[in-house]
Each structure stands twice: as C-alpha cells, then as structure tokens.
C-alpha cells in the first residue's frame, strides 16, 4: 500500500509539472512602486494621478521547456516578441498620458520599438510585434548556470519585462482601465539541461498555453460625477417629501 501511495504521489507530481502555469502578469502600483497588484484602484477626485505599471513573465516551479537537445525545467526568461494593451485609457482630452520613458525592465537588450506606444481603436498599444526583448547576458559563458539547480543555481521564475508610468486623467471619470496582451508571437524560456557538463543555452516555449493574469485599475469618480450622484439624491428626497 505504501509503495502504491508513493507511486501515485510521483505520478501526481509529474502531472502537476506538466500542467504548471506560466505566462504574464499585468500589474499596477498606486504607491510609487512600493506594492503591486493586478487589481488596483486610484482616486482622481482631487485631480489627475500617476500610476506605475509593469509586465512580469512568470512560470511555476516544475514548468517544462522542450528545446533543441531535450526538455528541462524552466529557470530563466529568454525573450518575447509582442505588444501589450491598455484599454479605456489614453485619451488626451481626459488628461491621460504616459509619464517618462518605458523600459524593458530586467531585460538588457531589445528592439527600440518595444518601448514605443500608439493609439488604436480607443486603446493604447505598448510596443509592437516586431520588438524583441531578451536577456542577452545569459548567453555569455557560464552565466546561465546561476539559475540552474543542476549547476548549483536557483531558478528565477519571475522577470520584469516592461515598466512604465501613466497619468490617469480626472476628466475620464468613473471607468475601469484594463491591461493585458495585445499580440504575442514568441515567448521563450531557458531550461535546465547539461550538455557535456555545460548548461545548454537553447530556449523554447514552455509546455501548454500561456495563462495570463490581466490587470484591472478601477478609477474612482471625479468630483463632477460625485456631484451628479448627490444631486440625484436631493431630487429623490424632495419627491419623497412631496
């Protein structure tokens, strides 16, 4: 019975690894980067407010990457080709605007287009699908080993791939600003695999489909909206008295 339980646990472990989640997290910070959340709110009743945003590439422990040479555990993010989208935000008439310059986060290289922005169908598009961002330093001899358990390293399963700051305009009033993927064509990770005693630097997409955690920013009503709510209450009270 004991052997059966151990065998069942092993099978469950393999299944869990095969189905491990990976993808991208889209987050906001309303306290200048002290805390981050995929579900946040900002109060613009006293005026326009600045909010930071970021995109994280993540993978659960045990996520498998099958690249040239064979499979191995995901240990470090490699590259992305694609763009993100901020929905319900970007109207200059509302006072919305990017503040400062976007960055590639923890990634050290990439096409300059990755840090550009454009407007499309009422949404703000960050980057474009030709932009390639990658951690080129990990290609240097011996650097990848720092993330691979088989070489004594520790996996880094959360990488910041985009950072920026946005001004949320008061005139936009009550709304929900969404943050998520626009179009993505390449997502690859380094995996833990020794080739003649040296970490193999080939990369591939993790098994399964990306499971993204989209961001949502609730904008608290501006003074004009609050005033309308108050006016509606006064009218209702007068009707009741009548």
Establish if 19 belongs to a structural domain.
no
Domain that holds residue 161: 24-222
Query: Band of the pLDDT at 170, cuts 50, 70, 90?
Result: very high
pLDDT average, residue stretch 108-122: 87
Asked whether the predicted pLDDT for residue 59 surpasses 60, the reply is yes
Structure-token pair, residue 189:
């990770």
Establish if 14 belongs to a structural domain.
no
Establish if 17 belongs to a structural domain.
no
Q: Answer whether 0.75 is exceeded by the pTM.
A: yes
Helix, strand, coil shares of the chain, percent, nearest 5, are 25, 45, 35
pLDDT average, residue stretch 20-48: 97
Count of structural domains within the chain = 1
What DSSP assignment string belongs to 118-163? EEETTEEEES-TT-EEE-GGGGSTTTGGGG-GGGT-----EEEEEE
d(CA 115, CA 96): 18
**Consecutive H or E run containing 85:** strand 70-87
Interval 120-152: pLDDT, tens: 888 999 998 777 888 888 888 789 999 999 999
Residue 39 belongs to domain with CATH number: 2.60.40
Asked whether the predicted pLDDT for residue 215 surpasses 80, the reply is yes
Establish if 13 belongs to a structural domain.
no
Establish if 52 belongs to a structural domain.
yes
CA dihedral of residues 103, 90, 179, 188 (deg, nearest 10)? -40
Establish if 2 belongs to a structural domain.
no
d(CA 115, CA 179): 16
Establish if 11 belongs to a structural domain.
no
The residue with greater pLDDT, 212 or 236, is 212
Structure-token pair, residue 226:
């609050």
Establish if 146 belongs to a structural domain.
yes
């Amino acid at each position: 019975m004991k052997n059966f339980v151990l065998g069942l646990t092993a099978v469950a472990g393999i299944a869990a690894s095969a189905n491990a989640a990976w993808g991208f997290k889209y987050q906001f910070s309303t306290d200048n980067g002290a805390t981050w959340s995929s579900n946040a709110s900002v109060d613009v009743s006293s005026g326009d407010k600045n909010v930071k945003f970021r995109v994280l590439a993540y993978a659960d422990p045990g996520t498998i990457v099958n690249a040239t040479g064979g499979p191995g555990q995901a240990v470090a993010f490699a590259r992305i080709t694609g763009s993100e989208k901020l929905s319900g935000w970007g109207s200059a008439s509302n006072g919305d605007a990017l503040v400062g310059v976007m960055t590639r986060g923890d990634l050290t290289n990439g096409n300059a287009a990755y840090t550009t922005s454009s407007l499309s169908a009422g949404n703000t598009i960050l980057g474009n699908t030709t932009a390639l961002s990658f951690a080129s330093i990990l290609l240097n001899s011996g650097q990848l080993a720092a993330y691979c358990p088989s070489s004594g390293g520790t996996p880094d399963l959360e990488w910041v791939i985009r950072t920026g700051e946005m001004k949320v305009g008061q005139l936009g009033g009550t709304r929900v600003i969404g943050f998520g993927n626009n179009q993505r064509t390449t997502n690859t990770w380094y995996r833990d695999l020794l080739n003649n005693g040296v970490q193999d630097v080939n990369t591939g997409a993790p098994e399964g489909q990306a499971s993204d955690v989209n961001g949502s920013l609730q904008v608290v009503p501006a003074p004009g909206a609050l005033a309308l709510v108050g006016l509606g209450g006064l009218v209702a009270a007068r009707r009741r008295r009548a």
